[in-house]
Amino acid sequence: MVVVPVKNDVLREPAPAVRHQLLLIDPQPLFLAALSGLLPGPPLTALVASAGGPAVPDGSARLPHVALALCHLRAPPVPAR
C-alpha cells in the first residue's frame, strides 16, 4: 500500500461532531504507528488507543465506548474455491 500525504488545508471537509474511539491491536509496531498517525486526521478524526499484542491496553479503560477494534488475527490462509 502506498500512502500519499496531503496538507490539512487541502481537505475542506468539516470535522465530525462525534469523534469515534478506535482500538488497534497488532504485534507490528510500524503498522500501529502508521494507523495511529492516519486515523486521528481528517476526515475520520478518531481517538485511537493501541496495543502491541493480544492484551487490551491499560488506556482502554478511558475508552468505554469503542466504536471499532482493529486487531491482528493468527489464522491460516483460506484456500480459494
Q: Extract the residue ranges of the chain whose pLDDT is less than 70.
A: 1-16, 53-64
DSSP string, 1-66: -------GGG--PPPPSSPPEEEEE-S-HHHHHHHHHHTTSTTT--EEEEESSSSPPGGGGG-TT-
pLDDT for residue 63: 56
pLDDT for residue 57: 53
pLDDT for residue 64: 66
Quote the pTM value.
Answer: 0.60
pLDDT for residue 60: 52
pLDDT for residue 25: 86
